[in-house]
């Protein structure tokens, strides 16, 4: 029975029983499902229905779903693993459950497909007594043919989602495929005799990210039958690669290579890799996946280049994968029309990728062989991350391909060092894009060679447009093509991307062609007629002359528009408060904030800032229409429109009018009505130069987030201080007064405590050649306290030398004082500190009467104090 007949019989069986046949969804999951890179199961398109988030087209459905799973990529090449497969399934959304699912499944297998019931066994979850009983009572299976399998819990797809216990149906393929052991059965891991052909999942729970489960409001059925594996059973093939799903592809690979299939196991393995990866590549590209260095694009690049490498192992030295893709399109195009519709795109993408990799593959493998020999010769077993990255960066080897080569050679790779090198490379790429702005002179020469006409900006009322790629500028020169991972600048004949000017930052977004996606990080206008999109190719490749779709980040543009209109609102409000002599002196209009500079000799002050804020926020409340008119410059000025001082304008200008509130000449993007701005929150007002001040503000979502945070903080403060929100300022002022008073009291108490034994300290002084010397530790929290203690000791001692030591913030502190009469005898506090400070690992100095020092070694303080008498004696005698 051919695979297409199996699919037809399956679909018609369920259609006759009230199931709507639904088309396969794309291999690219919906944008609202970030949990997976690619579609991995038939139930993924059913998940919104299972969760009640969307209404299903029918409660009973059946489909053949294209699927791709990445977990087995490294195993593909044997007879049991593949990446791309087709999943036949039937689904019940809150309709029938376990009983009918099991009954229908058994009926289809035995009565329609004609499989001998005695060849089949089933597995159930050990805790699913209901399923076990149904297999016994509804189907008539004995206990010996029902096996417990603790792994029979299915889902969720991703970190969380619907899931449930499952029951799997196995077919005995015969003793010729077995291990010969008496306990061989569906759970045997030694052989491929018993093959699982159909999985029935009983969706009854929702699993949270932490692993906990709760019951779904309605129970559902999700079944999956892999067409490849079932075809193997129905065609009595040794493996799925011996079925009609793979044989035409394998035979084409055999013809291209001049090698026969089933003649050499190593060559057979390479043919199986090419067959699986060739199918997968074709379907992935047809659904819009393009080669790249991250995510889905990296998966595609990885399997495509792995297929090329196995082509070389077969002795195929020329590009060949487009011929493999042609076979896939011919074999599957009638069931999946997107394959035929995108045939040429598939060929172009494969050709470009194979050409790029093919040029360096032989050199890269030679380099790897040399590395492997060097590692083994040195007695090691690990290839460095730097060398693995060089293979990735210079020769285009995906890390996993290098890892596969290493495994074949009995070696390992320093994975962490590779990841570090990869991140450093990405950082350099980001720096290269930023560096375009720092090399204005060098890039000006590139821009001068632009081939296109002046670029037309068409983004005032649109977020998307179609246009050909006129020019591409690489890091150092104009180029015809950029590949995934390469930074550069793209020029279109017309664009919706706003180039940075007039204080408004440039747009970000994507530029897509049929073969690639260019991610735009910034848009600049280096000359009055040129708009360049700066970024890098994230998927596939782009070429000059290709038709492109430009799509800005509309949400970011909306935030920028709100902030830009808000600058006009603030400008007018400032002039109303400060007078008409106030003018704009600069601005920054970004997505997350705005900055507005204005001329003023005086600060607004709290009252002025409050008035400006009140006036400005009255404008969004009134939701005034924002009208843009194009007119001659002279007419605009005569009508009262504001022009920026020093700005150059053309003969025809754009006037942005906010009702009768304001009118300014402006080339930026704006909201349609002021209500879109939302709240205008002024964050700060400051001076930035003589006669120029600056206001920083937030609008829209950023303003709301700020106000919510402020609200939460004030409420928490109010609760902590047991005060109403309106009284918080007064309460805080009172607290500050109390804190200052208590600080003064504490300092006084500390000083009193520290000087409470002044007489006792004085009694510790000794006579050195007729001079009273006091060297002692004192309890001081800071140097000010040490000075106050020293002053009191000096007053009490009247004549002599005082050296005090203390531990302040875990560091030694020193203070020396010499009375005036002793200075006359040649004693110096500064010289004294200069000698003892090094003893505690520091330095110090000062005047003859007063000096201070410090250090790093508290343990040496007593030693330093003990040396004072000797130093004083030397100074006196000297």
The 10s digit of each residue's pLDDT in 529-545 is 999 999 999 999 999 99
* CA angle 790–792–797, rounded 5-degree value: 90
Retrieve residue 579's tokens.
């007078």
Retrieve residue 654's tokens.
């754009």
Coil/strand/helix, residue 218: strand
- Contact (Cβ atoms closer than 8 angstroms) between residue 505 and residue 499: no
- Contact (Cβ atoms closer than 8 angstroms) between residue 551 and residue 463: yes
Integer Cα distance of 877 and 621 in angstroms: 87
Domain ranges of the chain: 3-237, 251-425, 449-552, 557-706, 755-877
* CA-to-CA dists, residue 175 to 109, 129, 154, 193, angstroms: 21, 31, 30, 7
Q: pLDDT band at residue 312, thresholds of 50, 70 and 90?
A: very high
Q: Does domain 557-706 have CATH number 3.30.980.10?
A: yes
Q: Does domain 755-877 have CATH number 3.10.310.40?
A: yes
Q: Where are the alpha helices (DSSP H) in 157-294?
A: 227-234, 247-257, 265-286
Give the other-Cβ count within 10 Å of 637's Cβ: 16
So what's the architecture of 3-237 in CATH? 2-Layer Sandwich (3.30)
How confident is the model over 715-770, as pLDDT tens digits?
Answer: 998 888 888 888 888 888 888 998 998 888 877 777 776 666 788 888 888 999 88
How confident is the model over 211-251, as pLDDT tens digits?
Answer: 889 999 899 999 999 999 999 999 999 999 999 999 999 99
Q: Which residue has the tokens 């893709």?
A: 325
Integer Cα distance of 427 and 657 in angstroms: 43
Integer Cα distance of 515 and 188 in angstroms: 46
Q: What is the helix (H) or strand (E) element at residue 597, kind and residue range?
A: strand 594-599
- Give helix 343-377 / helix 385-395 axis angle, nearest 10°: 150
* CA-to-CA dists, residue 273 to 253, 281, 292, 327, angstroms: 10, 12, 21, 15
How confident is the model over 365-419, as pLDDT tens digits?
Answer: 999 999 999 999 999 999 999 999 999 988 989 999 999 999 989 999 999 999 9
User: What helix, strand, coil percent values describe the chain, rounded to 5?
Assistant: 45, 25, 30
Q: Which CATH class is domain 449-552?
A: mainly beta
Asked if pLDDT for residue 32 goes beyond 60, the answer is no
Retrieve residue 136's tokens.
């016994």
Integer Cα distance of 609 and 661 in angstroms: 19
Q: What is the helix (H) or strand (E) element at residue 298, kind and residue range?
A: helix 295-313
How confident is the model over 437-494, as pLDDT tens digits?
Answer: 878 777 888 888 887 789 999 999 999 999 999 999 998 889 999 998 899 999 999 9
Integer Cα distance of 542 and 524 in angstroms: 20
Burial 448-468 (b: 16+ CB within 10 A, else e): eebebeebebbbeeebebebe
Coil/strand/helix, residue 480: coil
CA dihedral 742, 748, 753, 754 (to 10 degrees): 130
Burial of 686 per CB tally in 10 Å (0-12, 13-18, 19+): exposed
> 169 has which bridge partners?
122, 198
Report the candidate in 65, 12, 383, 56 with the shortest Cα–Cα distance to residue 223.
65
- Contact (Cβ atoms closer than 8 angstroms) between residue 3 and residue 227: yes
Q: What is the DSSP-derived secondary structure letter of residue 845? A: E
pTM score of the predicted model:
0.75
How confident is the model over 166-201, as pLDDT tens digits?
Answer: 999 999 999 999 998 988 999 998 998 999 999 999
Q: Are strands 60-68 and 20-22 parallel, antiparallel or unpaired?
A: parallel
């Amino acid at each position: 029975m051919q695979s297409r007949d199996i699919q037809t019989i399956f679909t018609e069986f369920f259609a006759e029983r009230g199931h709507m046949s639904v088309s396969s969804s794309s291999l690219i999951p919906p944008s609202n499902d970030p949990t997976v890179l690619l579609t991995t199961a038939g139930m993924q398109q059913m998940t919104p229905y299972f969760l009640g988030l969307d209404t299903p087209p029918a409660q009973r459905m059946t489909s053949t779903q294209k699927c791709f799973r990445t977990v087995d990529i490294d195993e593909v090449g044997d007879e049991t693993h593949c990446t791309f497969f087709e999943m036949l399934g039937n689904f019940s959304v809150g309709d029938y459950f376990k009983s009918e699912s099991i009954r229908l499944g058994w009926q289809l297998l035995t009565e329609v497909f004609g499989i001998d019931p005695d060849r089949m066994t089933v597995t159930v979850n050990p805790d699913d007594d209901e399923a076990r009983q149904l297999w016994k009572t509804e189907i008539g299976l004995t206990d010996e043919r029902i096996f417990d399998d603790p792994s029979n819990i299915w889902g969720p797809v991703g970190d969380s989602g619907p899931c449930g216990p499952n029951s799997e149906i196995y077919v005995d393929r015969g003793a010729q495929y077995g291990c010969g052991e008496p306990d061989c059965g569906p759970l045997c891991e030694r052989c491929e005799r018993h093959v699982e052909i159909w999985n029935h999942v009983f969706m009854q729970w929702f699993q949270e990210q932490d692993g906990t489960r709760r019951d779904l409001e309605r129970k559902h059925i999700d079944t999956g039958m892999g067409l490849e594996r079932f075809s193997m059973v129905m065609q009595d093939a040794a493996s799925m690669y011996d079925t009609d799903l793979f044989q035409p592809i394998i035979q084409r690979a055999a013809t291209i290579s001049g090698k026969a299939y089933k003649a050499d196991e190593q060559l057979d393995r390479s043919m199986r890799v090419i067959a699986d990866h060739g199918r997968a590549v074709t379907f992935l590209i047809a659904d819009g996946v393009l080669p790249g260095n991250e995510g889905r694009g990296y998966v595609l690049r990885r399997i495509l280049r792995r297929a090329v490498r196995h082509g070389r192992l077969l002795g195929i030295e020329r590009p060949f994968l487009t011929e493999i893709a042609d076979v896939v399109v011919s074999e599957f195009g009638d069931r999946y029309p997107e394959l035929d519709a995108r045939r040429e795109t598939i060929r172009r993408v494969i050709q470009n990728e194979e050409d790029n990799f093919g040029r360096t593959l032989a050199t890269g493998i030679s380099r790897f062989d040399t590395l492997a020999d060097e590692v083994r010769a040195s007695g090691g077993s690990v290839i460095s991350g730097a060398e693995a990255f060089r293979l990735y960066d210079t020769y285009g080897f995906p890390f996993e391909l290098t890892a596969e080569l290493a495994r074949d050679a009995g070696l390992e790779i320093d994975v962490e060092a590779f990841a570090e090198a990869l991140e450093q490379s990405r950082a350099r790429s980001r720096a290269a894009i930023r560096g375009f702005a720092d090399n204005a002179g060098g890039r000006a020469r590139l821009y001068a060679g632009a081939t296109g006409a002046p670029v037309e900006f068409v983004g005032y009322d649109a977020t998307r447009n179609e246009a050909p790629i006129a020019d591409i500028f690489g890091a150092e020169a104009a180029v015809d093509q950029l590949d995934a991972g390469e930074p550069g600048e793209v020029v279109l004949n017309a664009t919706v991307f706003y180039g940075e000017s007039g204080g408004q930052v440039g747009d970000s977004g994507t530029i897509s062609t049929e073969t690639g996606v260019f991610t735009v990080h910034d848009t600049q206008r280096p000359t009055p007629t040129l708009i360049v999109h700066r970024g890098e190719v994230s998927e596939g490749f782009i070429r000059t002359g290709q038709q492109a779709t430009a799509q800005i980040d509309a949400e970011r543009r909306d935030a920028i528009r709100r902030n830009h209109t808000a600058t006009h609102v603030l400008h007018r409000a400032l002039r109303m408060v400060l007078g008409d002599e106030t003018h704009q002196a600069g601005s920054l209009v970004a997505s997350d904030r705005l900055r507005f500079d204005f001329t003023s000799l005086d600060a607004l002050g709290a009252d002025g800032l409050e008035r400006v804020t009140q006036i400005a926020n009255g404008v969004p409340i009134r939701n005034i229409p924002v009208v843009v008119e194009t007119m001659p410059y002279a007419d605009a000025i005569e009508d009262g429109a504001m022009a920026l001082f020093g700005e150059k304008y053309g003969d025809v200008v754009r006037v942005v009018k906010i009702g009768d509130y304001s009118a300014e000449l402006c080339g930026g993007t704006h909201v349609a009505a002021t209500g879109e701005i939302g709240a205008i929150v002024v964050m700060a007002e400051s001076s930035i130069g003589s006669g120029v001040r600056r206001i920083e503000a937030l609008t829209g979502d950023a303003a709301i987030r700020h106000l919510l945070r402020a609200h939460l903080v004030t409420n928490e403060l109010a609760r902590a201080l047991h005060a109403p929100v309106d009284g918080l300022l007064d309460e805080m002022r009172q607290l500050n007064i109390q804190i200052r008073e208590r600080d003064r009291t504490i300092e006084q108490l500390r000083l009193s405590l520290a000087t409470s034994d002044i007489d006792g300290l004085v009694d510790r002084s000794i006579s050195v050649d007729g001079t009273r010397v006091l060297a002692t530790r004192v309890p001081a929290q800071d140097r000010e306290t040490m000075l106050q203690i020293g002053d009191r000791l000096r007053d009490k001692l009247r004549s002599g030398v005082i050296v005090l030591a203390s531990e302040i913030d875990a560091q030694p502190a020193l203070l020396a004082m010499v009375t005036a009469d002793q200075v006359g005898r040649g004693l110096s506090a500064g010289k004294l500190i200069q000698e003892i400070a090094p003893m505690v690992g520091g330095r110090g100095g000062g005047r003859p009467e007063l000096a201070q020092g410090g250090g790093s070694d508290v343990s040496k303080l007593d030693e330093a104090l003990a040396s004072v008498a000797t130093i004083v004696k030397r100074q006196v005698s000297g």
